[in-house]
Structure 1
Amino acid sequence: MLSIGEFARLAGVSVRMLRHYDQLGLLRPDRVDSRSGYRSYAAAQLARANQLIGLKDLGFTLEQVGVLLDGELAEGEVVALMRARRDALRAQIATDEHRLASIEARLRSIAKENPMSEFVETSLPALMLVQQSVRIKEISQVEEAMSGMFQQVNDLLRDIPRAGPGVATYTPQGEGMIAAAAEQIGDAPVPDGLERATVEAQPRALTVRYTGGDLSGIQQSWQGLVAEVEARGLTPHGTCREVYDVTPFDGDGAGWSVDLQQPVA
């Protein structure tokens, strides 16, 4: 027999946790001295301890661990529970990867290493687009909304040749904005689910080119562009544009080259 301290050392948990597992009925001692109350464990119980700790480390609640250990679920239910936990872990990994990319982009911004070219003051042509649009209230909604809309737009335009690069537009509206994901198809018929839109020509704008393997630094590039607008004594005015001249989906394995265009007055 093993004392509670010896068993805790071999199982890799604290004595306090072993007492807690005992109270919950997850891992009871093999023997409890009636006079001293000392707990003793059998070496064979290490297998259950390992299973318990492994399931707990996977993120299952102690209640779920108890059900799994005691075999109260049918095989299909166990598989469903494991798959649900797997999907939750995948979602958490995706969230963490997004946060990591955001942190790295901010570090590049602090180090002034954002992949931007020189600022250019120019005029902007009118654009004839087909698009989907949505009203955005929170900036945190932009990335998910735009990604989903561009996917739908390109699915609907699958067999229609493009007359120019893809374009995202952002039009201030009160405390929010109208965000649109658009493509240029010239005079081709507009499929159901899309709308035609015209972005007016602008006599004056400040632009900068963003390049990178992903879009994690594009927000910082926009910040740099707007800061430059203010530094020049200008005022942002009207609908701003992102023109996707090069994307990873062009077939040559390239990254992104996006012209950020801010009309000014």
Structure 2
Amino acid sequence: MLSIGEFARLVGVSVRMLRHYDRLGLLEPARVDEYTGYRSYSTAQLDRANRLVALKDLGFSLDQVGHLLADGASEGEVLALLRQRSDELTHQLRADARRLAQVQARIRLIAKEIPMSTYHETALPALTLAARSVRITDMTSFETEMGPLFDSVGSALTASGVHPVGPGVALYAPDRDAMIASAAEPIGDAPTPAGLEEVTVEAVDRALTTQYVAPDLEGIQAAWQGLVSEVERRGLTAQGTCREVYLSTPFDGEGWVVDLQQPIG
């Protein structure tokens, strides 16, 4: 037999909590000394204790835990619930990490901690691309929209045996109160695979460009703000479809190197 302290240590709960479980009828000790009141537990009770703690950690109330244990929740059922909860927590952690990175990027932006960028005025070539596009009205969803969009373009090219002949390009064209965003790949003279659209971008005589270099894309919004602010500082006007040309990505084994290109007039 195990003392209440030993059992609490093995299960990973407090002695006070074991007494609480006893009062609720969720986990009664195997024996209670009639003279001292000392509680003792058997190793056979560890399985029930583990299920109880697991269900509680899943967010079930103790009342719900009691019903589940009374109904004989099997090991497989508890494991399935734990795996589901694990997936939910993993998703939440990733979402929280993204939000934290966005907040930190916003702090750097407001605090003017963004490194000085170098801007170049240049012409932009015409492009013929295989692409998929989406109309975005919620401007906070760019990240969640563009990643899967590029993945779908890549999958369509691979399925057709077509290989990009240059870096990927994101296009952003204003459309009243929304934005038409396109994930595109240059494929040269190859036919555009089924399911993708052929997008032609006209050459631009004047554009202001800067290069974004970072391990992630959290600061790219600040880089765009700096670029457009520089356009205005020079007495110019941003116009037309702007481009992001992905010269290097983490998928190449390195960080991000993105050429930001804003047509001007």
Q: TM (normalized to structure 1)?
A: 0.78
Q: What is the DSSP-based 3-state SS (H/G/I as helix, E as strand, rest coil) of the residue aligned with 1:164?
A: coil
Query: Unaligned regions of 5+ residues in structure 1, if any?
Result: 31-39
Which residue of structure 2 lines up, in the alignment, with residue 75 of structure 1? 75
Cα 1:66–1:262 shift into 2, 3 Å: farther
Cα 1:264–1:14 shift into 2, 3 Å: farther
Cα 1:28–1:184 shift into 2, 3 Å: same
Which residue of structure 1 lines up, in the alignment, with residue 176 of structure 2? 174
Which residue of structure 1 lines up, in the alignment, with residue 60 of structure 2? 61
Q: Return the alpha-carbon distance in structure 1 between the equivalents of residues 232 and 60 of structure 2.
A: 53
Give 1:218's aligned amino acid.
I
Q: Which stretch shows the higher mean deviation, 217-226 or 190-199?
A: 217-226
Which residue of structure 2 lines up, in the alignment, with residue 215 of structure 1? 217
Give 2:60's aligned amino acid.
T
Which residue of structure 1 lines up, in the alignment, with residue 257 of structure 2? 257
Q: Return the alpha-carbon distance in structure 2 between the equivalents of residues 76 and 148 of structure 1.
A: 34
Please state how far the C-alpha of 1:51 moved relative to its aligned partner: 5.9
Please state how far the C-alpha of 1:178 moved relative to its aligned partner: 0.6
Q: Return the alpha-carbon distance in structure 2 between the equivalents of residues 152 and 51 of structure 1.
A: 42
Which residue of structure 1 lines up, in the alignment, with residue 239 of structure 2? 237
Q: Return the alpha-carbon distance in structure 2 between the equivalents of residues 115 and 70 of structure 1.
A: 62
Answering whether residue 39 of structure 2 is matched by residue 42 of structure 1, we say yes
Q: What is the DSSP-based 3-state SS (H/G/I as helix, E as strand, rest coil) of the residue aligned with 2:218?
A: coil
Q: Does the CA contact (< 8 Å) of 1:168 and 1:180 recur in 2?
A: yes
Please state how far the C-alpha of 1:203 moved relative to its aligned partner: 2.0
Q: Return the alpha-carbon distance in structure 1 between the equivalents of residues 83 and 120 of structure 2.
A: 52
Which residue of structure 1 lines up, in the alignment, with residue 208 of structure 2? 206
Q: Does the CA contact (< 8 Å) of 1:153 and 1:181 recur in 2?
A: yes
Q: Does the CA contact (< 8 Å) of 1:167 and 1:182 recur in 2?
A: yes
Q: What is the DSSP-based 3-state SS (H/G/I as helix, E as strand, rest coil) of the residue aligned with 1:132?
A: strand
Give 1:76's aligned amino acid.
G
Q: How many residues align?
A: 246
Q: TM (normalized to structure 2)?
A: 0.78
1:74-131 CA distance string (max 9 Å, x none): 3332222122111111111111221222233234434544466302222222111110
Which residue of structure 1 lines up, in the alignment, with residue 136 of structure 2? 136
Answering whether residue 111 of structure 2 is matched by residue 119 of structure 1, we say no
Q: What is the DSSP-based 3-state SS (H/G/I as helix, E as strand, rest coil) of the residue aligned with 2:207?
A: strand
Q: Which stretch shows the higher mean deviation, 81-90 or 21-30?
A: 21-30
Cα 1:64–1:241 shift into 2, 3 Å: farther
Q: Return the alpha-carbon distance in structure 2 between the equivalents of residues 118 and 178 of structure 1.
A: 27
Answering whether residue 187 of structure 2 is matched by residue 188 of structure 1, we say no
Cα 1:71–1:249 shift into 2, 3 Å: same
Q: Does the CA contact (< 8 Å) of 2:29 and 2:40 recur in 1?
A: no
Answering whether residue 142 of structure 2 is matched by residue 145 of structure 1, we say no
Q: Does the CA contact (< 8 Å) of 1:115 and 1:210 recur in 2?
A: no
Query: Unaligned regions of 5+ residues in structure 2, if any?
Result: 31-36
Q: Return the alpha-carbon distance in structure 1 between the equivalents of residues 40 and 51 of structure 2.
A: 14
RMSD: 3.3
Please state how far the C-alpha of 1:218 moved relative to its aligned partner: 0.9
Give 2:140's aligned amino acid.
S
Q: Return the alpha-carbon distance in structure 2 between the equivalents of residues 68 and 116 of structure 1.
A: 60
